[in-house]
Amino acid sequence: MGDQALSERLRKRIDGKTKPLGALGRLETLAHRIGSILGSEEPVLSQPQMLVCAGDHGLAAKGVSAYPSDVTWQMVENFLAGGAAVSVLARQHGLALTVADCGVAREIPPRAHQAGAPRLVSCRVAAGTQDASVGPAMTMAQCEQAIENGKQLVRDMPGNALLLGEMGIGNTSVASLLLARLGGIPLADCTGAGTGLDAAGVARKLQVLETALRANSDARRPLHALAALGGFEVATLTGAVLQAAAERRVVVVDGFITSAAVLVASMLQPAVLERCVFAHRSGEPGHTHMLRLLNGDALLDLGLRLGEGSGAALAWPLLESACAFLREMASFESAGVDGSHLS
C-alpha cells in the first residue's frame, strides 16, 4: 500500500513540473523508478559503487574467445592501475571502483589501498572454473560460496547505488549458455562475436557451447544452471544483485554478462527487477533477447560490447539528472506558471 501511494505521489510530482506532460520522456520513467527504489520523492544518489567482478573460465581453453585467459589478470591489473575504460569513466563520474578477484586463474597480488584509487578485494573460490563442455563448471558448494561472497561485498559497501561490471575471458559464452538454458532462446540467437571472433570463430564457439549444454543437460533450475554453466564472477554478481535489491539500492546493470547475473537473481527472487536500471543495449546479439526476457528498457544504445561496467558508468549521469529534475525543477504552482491548459 505504501509503495503504491509513493508511486502515485511521484507521478503527481513529475506531472506537476513546469513542462508539458511527458515532455522529459524516458527521463521521467527513470526518475519514477529511482524514487520508487529509494522510497523518496526527492531521491539523492549517494556514494555510488562500481563493482567489477573478475574470473576465469575453463571453457576458454576450447577457443571460444579471440583472447587468451591471461588477458583476464592483465586487465584486472589495468583496472587497478587506472588505465582501463571503466577506470577512466569511474574517475570522471566520481564512482568508487572495487575490483573483486572471484576466481582469476593467476592470483592478483594484494596491495595497499590508496584513497580515491580502485580497490582490490580477493574473494577467490578457485583458480578459474572447470571446462563446462565436459561437465559442471562449478560444484554447487562453489556456486553458493560465490553468491555469498557477492552478498558480503555489498554488505561492506556504503551508498545506495551499485553499478555492475565484470571481466573474464570467455564470459560472453557463459551469458549465452545461461540465456539459452534459462530463457529458452535458441543458442544460435544467444551467441555473438564476444571479444571479436570472425565468422569461423563464432561457428566454432557455437559448437563448443552446444557441447556444454549437452554435457549439462540435467542442469535446468536457476542455481543448478548457474553452477553448471556459469562463472565465479557471474555467481558473485548474482549474490551482489540479490543483496543490493534487498537493501533497496539502485542496481545499474551494464551489458550482456551482468544481465545474465540479473537473470539468475530474478529467477531466484523476481522482485530484484524492481530495483534495476538497465544502462544500455549491448552489441552482443543475445543481449536484446536478454533485455526482452527481463523487461529491461535500456537507457543507451551505443553498440558497446566492452563490458567492465563501461556502459553502466556512461549511463550514470542520466540517473543523476533524473534525480536532479525531480528534486529541483519547479512546479507550476511554485513557479507561478499557469499550467491549467495542460491538465
202 within 8 A of 309, measured Cβ to Cβ? no
Written as tens digits, the pLDDT of the chain (343 aa) is 358 999 999 999 999 999 999 999 999 999 999 999 999 999 999 999 999 999 999 999 998 998 999 999 999 999 999 999 999 999 999 999 999 999 999 999 998 888 889 999 999 999 999 999 999 999 999 999 999 999 999 999 999 999 999 999 999 999 999 999 999 999 999 998 887 889 998 899 999 999 999 999 999 999 999 999 999 999 999 999 999 999 999 999 999 999 999 999 999 999 999 999 999 999 999 999 999 999 999 999 999 999 999 999 999 999 999 999 999 999 988 888 877 666 5
According to the model, what pLDDT value does residue 114 have?
86
Residues 6 or more apart whose CB falls under 8 angstroms from that of 91 comprise 82
Sign of CA dihedral 114, 81, 261, 212: negative
Nearest Cα neighbor of 138 from 225, 207, 266 is 225
Residue 170 to residue 141: CA distance in whole angstroms: 22
Q: What H or E segment, with its residue span, contains residue 319?
A: helix 310-328
Burial grade of 313 (CB within 10 A; 0-12, 13-18, 19 or more):
buried
Respond yes or no: is residue 328 known to be catalytic.
no
Catalytic residue of the set 274, 284, 308, 320: 308
According to the model, what pLDDT value does residue 108 have?
94
228 within 8 A of 136, measured Cβ to Cβ? yes
According to the model, what pLDDT value does residue 1 have?
38
According to the model, what pLDDT value does residue 295 have?
96
According to the model, what pLDDT value does residue 341 have?
63
3-state secondary structure 27-77: HHHHHHHHHHHHCCCCCCCCCCEEEEEEECCHHHHHCCCCCCCHHHHHHHH
